[in-house]
Amino acid sequence: MRIAVTAALTDETITPIGLAQELEERGFHGLYVPEHTHIPVERATPFPYADERGEVARWYGRLIDPFVALSQAAAVTSRLHLGIGVLLLAQHDPIVVAKQAASLDHVSGGRFTLGVGYGWNREEAADHGVAWSSRRELVLDRMRLMRALWADEPTEYKGVFGSVSASFAHPKPVRGGAPRTMLGGAAGPKLFSHIVEYGDGWLPLNGSGLRETLPVLRTAWEDAGRDPAALQVVPYAVTPTPERMDTFAELGIEEVVMLMPAEEGDGMLRALDGFARYLD
């Protein structure tokens, strides 16, 4: 089983370069980093991962831009896979993201994974002009536009939320069509329909409930005529235990992304020491 980690890299943690080099040297498969542009101080949105005081973790407002962090990591590694877990695509210009994603995939030699998500912070989204109730449809529209830019030939796209004329847009994703694209979010018909349309698979948070939800996704995938062997399900931000990892293996999971603590100094490296037991 391939073992990757997700780390909240900030201005107070180990650098992207330092962590990426440590991961590659220790034999880890990949590094995923989260994204938030900012966290408004005044908010009404309940924080879904609150500490005992109900407060947003400090690191949420201090994250390094994921494309910048992963570009640094790509430059000092040759095998480590690099992913965003997840990009809040509704909050971005899709033409710019298409260029950033294809460029990072190109300079890393095809090691990039674009994780796409919908977010939890209404105030953050509102500052970007996003209507909360339509954010899923907005993300779908933006992915369709981006895939038009990634197409081999200049391709026009006219969508509900955005359009692009047939354009020259290079570099292209290394594998053609799109970089590896994984969706985050809670299980449900809408999420699964979007995975089936444009994704390579799912990033289920902590991998909870997969015995019940994985068969549903597999059925939707196969009903759409997609190759059953191509579906990738990668439990994300997992706090590992031997029992949980055994369950993932039984379900045919081939990659797991473990959650690193957002700590200063050597805290992240100590976490890697603990994860090492799960490396093949």
List, run by run, the mean pLDDT of 10-residue segments along the chain (280 residues): 97 95 98 97 79 77 97 98 98 98 98 97 97 97 98 98 98 97 97 98 96 98 97 97 97 97 78 92
Question: What residue ranges define each of the domains in the chain, with the CATH number in brackets?
Answer: 2-278 (3.20.20.30)
Cα gap 96→101, rounded to integer Å: 9
Omega into 171 within 30° of 0, i.e. cis? Answer: yes
Dist. CA 274–CA 112, nearest whole Å: 26
Is 82 in a helix, a strand, or coil?
strand
Per-residue exposure over 43-79, b if at least 16 CB sit within 10 Å of its own CB, e if not:
eebeeeeeeeeeebeebbebbbebbebbbbbbeebee
User: Two tokens at 210?
Assistant: 């997969």
Query: CA angle at residue 268 from 265 to 269, to 5 degrees?
Result: 90
> What pLDDT does 182 receive?
98
Q: Look at residues 105, 183, 174, 106 and name the one whose alpha carbon lies nearest to residue 143.
A: 183
What pLDDT was estimated at residue 265? Answer: 63
What pLDDT was estimated at residue 190?
A: 96
Strand partners, 120: none
The continuous run of DSSP H or E covering 249 comes out as helix 242-250
> Strand order of the sheet with strand 180-184?
232-233, 201-203, 180-184, 112-117, 81-88, 30-33, 2-6, 255-259
Output b/e per residue, 155-175; b: 16+ Cβ within 10 A.
bebebebbebeeeebeebbbe
